[in-house]
Amino acid sequence: MAGVKQEVFAVTSAIVNAFIVRAERSIIVDTGFPGYGDKILKTMSRHDIRPDDISLIIITHGHHDHTGSAAYLREKTGAPVAIHKADAEALRTGVNPPLCPVGGRGRFMVAMSNMVKPKIQGMEPQLLVEGEMDLRDYGIEGKIIPTPGHTPGSVSVLLAGGCALVGDMIFGGLLRKSTPGFPYICQDIETATKSIQDVLDRRPKIFYAGHGGPFTGGQVWRKFFVKP
Task: Please give the mean pLDDT across all residues of the chain.
Answer: 93
Contact 223, 182 (CB under 8 A): no
Is the alpha carbon torsion for 46, 51, 23, 220 positive or negative?
A: positive
Q: What is the pLDDT of residue 3?
A: 63
- Cα separation, 180 vs 207, in Å, equals 10
- Residue-wise pLDDT for 174-208, tens only, equals 667 889 999 998 999 999 999 999 999 999 999 99
Least trusted range by pLDDT, from 11-20, 21-30, 106-115: 106-115
Contact 180, 144 (CB under 8 A): no
Does the pLDDT value for residue 219 go beyond 70? yes
Helices (H) and strands (E) counted in the chain, each on its own, are 7, 14
Q: What is the pLDDT of residue 111?
A: 82
Which residues pair with residue 12 across a beta bridge?
A: 17
Q: What is the pLDDT of residue 165?
A: 98
Contact 95, 101 (CB under 8 A): no
Assigned fold of 7-225: Metallo-beta-lactamase; Chain A (3.60.15)
Q: What is the pLDDT of residue 122?
A: 94
Q: What is the pLDDT of residue 1?
A: 58
Write the DSSP string, 170-198. SEE-SS-TTSEE--SB-S-HHHHHHHHHH
Residue-range domain boundaries for the chain: 7-225
> How many C-beta neighbours within 10 Å does residue 103 have?
11
The answer for residues whose C-beta is within 8 angstroms of residue 5's C-beta and 6 or more apart is 23
Give 110 or 194, the one with higher predicted confidence.
194
- Residue-wise pLDDT for 70-96, tens only, equals 999 999 999 999 999 999 999 999 998
Does the pLDDT value for residue 57 go beyond 80? yes
Give 130 or 109, the one with higher predicted confidence.
130
Q: What is the mean pLDDT of residues 137-156?
A: 97
- Cα separation, 107 vs 186, in Å, equals 11
Give 44 or 118, the one with higher predicted confidence.
44
